[in-house]
């Protein structure tokens, strides 16, 4: 389907592995026919009745629109607006402080009558694109959660699910936005990224799905920046498709939750801080820590939320330092401050932390 131009890897190895394993995970949960049958929303074909979300009628319209697309019962969904650190119901009166809300409520909450209360942020109402994508994000998670596919929120997997459910073109086109700012004596531009997926990742996952679903028109609807990555990914796939399990006939391949439910945290300077994996809301598998200068800090294996094995410890110069003896849930784990001084020694026995030296 794609023309052969380049075999250069369009994303880094980590993101490539995450995307491909995530698609296999979804294929296992949903089935190939379900994925192929999902309709992708084409930007130029979205004939909305409203071009803003400035009224209850408009918000309810978009809830119904997205729910219909997701095959989710919109009659079971109402909403609240989070504004000025308070939760405001659609009728207009404020209730309790935002800080008192359970974390799950920031996306949705199940009510006593079985219906769902979905959160909408007031700031998003000023920007229609942001409003629509955030609402689609929350409702996509609601669908997968209510149907037992997800049992907790994970940003990367929800974004991947949105692409599978047909929001990929819309999401990718607004994944990066530029805003101009004006100070007293200076002005400039600020680049803001929406969601957890980079433009490179969007290019790769969309190209994989286009090949999987035999789509040949998506490139006509992508913004210039995403289109470059999409074409690079398409060229790579053309030469490497036989080595990509998702694109070849295969028995359903089981992928463990901890292989795909992951998160990244970053320092204020934008440098990667941690990569962690999860299962049932707890750390599971490899967790990698980085110093603020980008050098590897520590590698540990977690099991059921507890440190299980320590693989390495390094100072900010890349020199190995004492890591402890922790192995298979027994032994010591050395924890260091960013400046290299020892913070504490944790001790474990039979997969439980027992004390601190």
pTM: 0.82
Provide the pLDDT for residue 36: 95
Q: Does some domain include residue 195?
A: yes
Domain count, the chain: 2
Q: Do 45 and 130 sit in the same domain of this protein? A: yes
Q: Does some domain include residue 7?
A: no
Q: Do 243 and 267 sit in the same domain of this protein? A: no
pLDDT at residue 190 above 60?
no
* Nearest Cα residue to 117 out of 148, 81, 155: 81
Q: Do 168 and 313 sit in the same domain of this protein? A: no
The per-residue pLDDT for range 73-128, each reduced to its tens digit, is: 999 999 988 875 554 444 333 333 333 333 444 688 888 888 899 988 888 888 88
- Residue that is last in its domain, among 247, 272, 288: 247
Summarize the confidence of residues 16-41 as an average pLDDT. 94
Q: Does some domain include residue 5?
A: no
Provide the pLDDT for residue 275: 92
Summarize the confidence of residues 328-348 as an average pLDDT. 94
Q: Do 134 and 218 sit in the same domain of this protein? A: yes
The per-residue pLDDT for range 191-216, each reduced to its tens digit, is: 455 678 889 999 999 999 999 999 98
- Compute CA distances 133 → 107, 126, 169, 293, whole Å: 13, 13, 11, 34
Q: Does some domain include residue 57?
A: yes
- Residue that is last in its domain, among 216, 247, 278: 247
Summarize the confidence of residues 157-174 as an average pLDDT. 93
* Nearest Cα residue to 64 out of 72, 74, 56, 49: 74
Residue 144, judged by CB atoms within 10 A of its CB (0-12, 13-18, 19+), counts as buried
Q: Does some domain include residue 145?
A: yes
Are 321 and 336 in contact by the 8 Å Cβ rule? The answer is: yes
Please provide the average confidence, as pLDDT, over all residues in the chain: 85
In this structure, the chain runs to a length of 357
* Nearest Cα residue to 131 out of 179, 82, 201, 197: 82
The per-residue pLDDT for range 210-238, each reduced to its tens digit, is: 999 999 899 999 999 999 999 999 999 98
pLDDT at residue 9 above 90?
no
Provide the pLDDT for residue 184: 56
* Nearest Cα residue to 139 out of 113, 162, 122: 162
Are 263 and 287 in contact by the 8 Å Cβ rule? The answer is: no
Provide the pLDDT for residue 2: 44
- Compute CA distances 289 → 173, 263, 294, 300, 354, whole Å: 32, 12, 10, 9, 23
Q: Give the domain extent around 48.
A: 13-247
pLDDT at residue 321 above 90?
yes
Provide the pLDDT for residue 188: 52
Coil, strand or helix: which one is 58? helix
Q: Tell me how far apart the alpha carbons of residues 286 and 307 are, in angstroms, rounded to a whole number.
A: 10
Q: pLDDT band at 185, cuts 50/70/90?
A: low
Q: Do 71 and 198 sit in the same domain of this protein? A: yes
Q: Do 117 and 230 sit in the same domain of this protein? A: yes
DSSP 190: E
Provide the pLDDT for residue 177: 56
């Amino acid at each position: 389907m794609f023309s052969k131009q380049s075999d250069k890897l369009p994303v880094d190895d980590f993101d490539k592995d995450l995307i491909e394993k995530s698609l296999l995970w979804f294929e296992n949960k949903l089935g190939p026919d379900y994925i192929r049958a999902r309709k992708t929303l084409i930007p130029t074909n979205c004939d909305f009745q409203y071009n803003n979300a400035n009224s209850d009628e408009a918000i309810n319209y978009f809830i119904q629109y997205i729910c219909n697309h997701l095959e989710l019962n919109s009659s079971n969904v109402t909403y609240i607006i989070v504004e000025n650190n308070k939760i405001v119901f659609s009728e207009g009166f404020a209730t309790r402080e935002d800080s008192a809300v359970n974390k799950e409520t920031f996306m949705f909450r199940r009510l006593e009558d079985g219906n769902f209360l979905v959160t909408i942020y007031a700031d998003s109402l000023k920007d229609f694109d942001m409003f629509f994508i955030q609402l689609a994000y929350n409702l996509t998670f609601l669908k997968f959660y209510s149907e037992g596919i997800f049992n907790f929120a994970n940003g990367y997997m929800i974004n991947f699910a949105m692409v599978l459910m047909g929001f990929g073109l819309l999401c990718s086109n607004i994944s990066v936005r530029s805003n101009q700012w004006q100070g007293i004596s200076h002005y400039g531009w600020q680049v803001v990224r929406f969601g957890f997926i980079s433009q490179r990742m969007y290019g790769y996952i969309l190209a994989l799905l286009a090949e999987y679903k035999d789509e040949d028109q998506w490139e006509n609807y992508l913004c210039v920046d995403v289109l470059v990555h999409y074409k690079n990914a398409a060229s790579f796939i053309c030469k490497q498709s036989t080595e990509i399990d998702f694109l070849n006939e295969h028995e359903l391949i089981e992928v463990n939750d901890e292989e795909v439910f992951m998160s990244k945290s970053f320092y204020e300077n934008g440098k990667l801080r941690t990569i962690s994996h999860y299962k049932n809301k707890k750390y599971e598998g490899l967790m990698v820590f980085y110093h603020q200068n980008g050098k590897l800090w520590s590698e540990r294996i977690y099991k059921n939320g507890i440190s299980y094995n320590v693989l390495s410890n390094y100072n900010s110069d890349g020199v190995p330092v004492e890591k402890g003896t922790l192995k298979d849930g027994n032994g010591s784990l050395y924890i260091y401050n960013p400046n290299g001084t020892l913070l504490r020694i944790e001790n474990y026995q039979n997969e439980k932390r027992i004390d601190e030296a």
